[in-house]
Amino acid sequence: MKRKHPELPDRYDAFLQELKERIRSAQVRAALSVNRELVLLFWGIGRDILTRQQSEGWGAKVVDRLAHDLLQAFPGMTGFGARNLKYMRAFAEAYPDQQFVQQVVAQLPWGHNVRILEMVKAPAEREWYIRQAVESGWTRNVLVHQIEGDLHRRQGRAVTNFQRTLPAPQSELAQELLKDPYNFDFLTLGTEMLERDLERGLIDHLRDLILELGKGFAFVGNQYHLEIGGQDYFLDLLFYHLRLRCYVVIDLKIEEFRPEFAGKMNFYLSAVDDLLRHVDDTPSIGLILCQDKNRIVVEYALRDTGKPVGVAQYQLTESLPERLQSELPTNDDLARELPRFNLVTMRIRLERALQAIAEKRGLSTKVVGIAALTRALTSANALSTEVVADLRTVRRSKPTRFKRRCNLETLCCLGWKAMTDARLGNYDVRRLRPVT
């Protein structure tokens, strides 16, 4: 029997038929477990493509043809394009252990797995993000945000005394929950911010703050009031952690860590344990967030502290994203343009003043423009020599090329751009007086 496409490998038709049957079977099972079956199906297809590429030398053209045939066989089912088949192959190559795929990886939607495959290259790091996404129930956008924020590197890196101050199971979990540094790039605060500005910004972005803190943090309050010995004290931020079953006190600092911060936090935790902690709660935990820290200083400060305290840094956005930088004027642009705006405003005022003088002299009201008005008033001996010289300087102003689309031609419709002469930009129209 003559084959319809002799360029295809041997047993291709049998393989295609086998895939069709497997896909139909998976569609039935998918009614009960859509995502898991789909991911396992894609892994199996990817494994078989990888095996045939290695053993039979299948190339990209065969994969493209396979995609075409599968899309024809299942027109109402997405996911069988050539690009996705190549993702399946890479997916199977990245996770060769079928048991791991069944028990762990298949718990995530295919879109999550593709993002991890694209964005994370180290196998151990991939597994970490998979487990975190499954445990925390991250959406795809949250997963991408955590990968871009390098959560794997930051998680569990805060300097703490938990190993000494908490029992083993809780100390390990608490240590793993704290990060260093914390990423507060959702805030837009300048270098001159105060601690209350930082606190207010975090409260205004509470959803982003809780996302950055991690799963299990429940917000209790900010500037939480405690009365101790007849005196008022206020906690910057107070949370309750549902998994640790304890209060978490956060103290915000806009400076480098100092040893006395640990003593203050120890005092706060003693008060919270005495006034707020329930009998079933575990000991409260303190987190001091600073702009900077010396690790050795922190370790000495926490060494003999009786309460569980962690110290971490936080990061704010240091610069605008590149896509915004390209749309906004630079300092040089602003410095170059401000005199031009002044000069254009001055020219408009000059022309109006010249027109007023011309009207008082009974000259034609049809004369417009600084050049024509200057000639008419000069002929009528209505302007002083000094003013005429300044007006000639303005008329000789030559246009300069401005890089941005929003230029002075568009804004002012003058047909030319002014020179960057700050002195002319501060020109005093009161000097325009008719000669008596």
Helical residues (DSSP H) of 74-221, grouped into ranges:
82-94, 98-103, 110-119, 123-136, 140-148, 151-154, 162-165, 168-177, 195-204, 206-213
Q: How confident is the model at residue 33 (pLDDT cuts 50, 70, 90)?
A: low
Arithmetic mean of pLDDT, 212-217: 86
Percent of the chain scoring above 70 in pLDDT: 74
Preceding peptide of 181 cis, ω within 30°:
yes
Residue appearing with tokens 């805060």: 158
Residue appearing with tokens 């401000």: 338
Cβ pair 344, 418 in contact under 8 A: yes
pLDDT digits (tens, 9 = 90+) for 226-246: 999 999 999 999 999 998 899
Cβ pair 422, 335 in contact under 8 A: no
Cβ pair 342, 397 in contact under 8 A: no
Greatest Cα pair distance in the chain: 113
Contacting residues for 363 by C-beta, under 8 A, at least 6 apart: 376, 377, 380
Q: What is the pLDDT of residue 435?
A: 43
Q: What is the pLDDT of residue 191?
A: 54
- Torsion, Cα of 129, 133, 139, 141 (10° steps): -20
Contacting residues for 390 by C-beta, under 8 A, at least 6 apart: 424, 427, 431
Cβ pair 110, 39 in contact under 8 A: yes
Arithmetic mean of pLDDT, 57-84: 84
What count of other Cβ atoms lies within 10 Å of the Cβ of residue 251? 20
Angle at the Cα of 89 (from 22 to 36), degrees rounded to 5? Answer: 50
Q: What is the pLDDT of residue 414?
A: 31
Cβ pair 156, 176 in contact under 8 A: yes
Burial status of residue 105 (CB atoms within 10 A of its CB: 0-12, 13-18, 19 or more) = buried
Contacting residues for 227 by C-beta, under 8 A, at least 6 apart: 233
Q: What is the pLDDT of residue 404?
A: 36
What count of other Cβ atoms lies within 10 Å of the Cβ of residue 223? 12
Q: How many CA atoms lie within 13 Å of 316's alpha carbon, on the beta-carbon side?
A: 18
Partnered with residue 42 across adjacent β-strands are none
Helical residues (DSSP H) of 278-369, grouped into ranges:
295-303, 322-325, 331-360
Q: What is the pLDDT of residue 205?
A: 79
Partnered with residue 235 across adjacent β-strands are 224
Rounded distance between C-alpha atoms, residue 67 and residue 87, angstroms: 12
pLDDT digits (tens, 9 = 90+) for 300-326: 999 888 899 999 988 875 544 554 455
- pTM (2 decimals)? 0.57
User: Angle, to 10 degrees, between the axis of helix 110-119 and the axis of helix 140-148?
Assistant: 10
Nearest to 283 by CA among 311, 254, 245, 252: 245
Q: What is the pLDDT of residue 96?
A: 92
Q: List every span in the chain annotated with CATH 3.40.1350.10.
A: 159-318
Partnered with residue 310 across adjacent β-strands are 160, 287
Arithmetic mean of pLDDT, 116-145: 90
pLDDT digits (tens, 9 = 90+) for 312-363: 988 875 544 554 455 555 556 555 555 555 555 666 667 777 777 777 777 7
Rounded distance between C-alpha atoms, residue 278 and residue 160, angstroms: 24
Greater pLDDT, 136 or 325: 136
Nearest to 132 by CA among 191, 168, 187, 179: 179
Partnered with residue 239 across adjacent β-strands are 219, 248
Query: Is the pLDDT at 419 greater than 50, yes or no?
Result: no
Partnered with residue 227 across adjacent β-strands are 232
- The domain 159-318 is placed in CATH, from the list 3.30.1540.20, 2.40.170.20, 3.40.1350.10, 1.10.287.3510, at 3.40.1350.10
Q: What is the pLDDT of residue 407?
A: 34
Query: Is the pLDDT at 223 greater than 80, yes or no?
Result: yes
Cβ pair 391, 427 in contact under 8 A: no
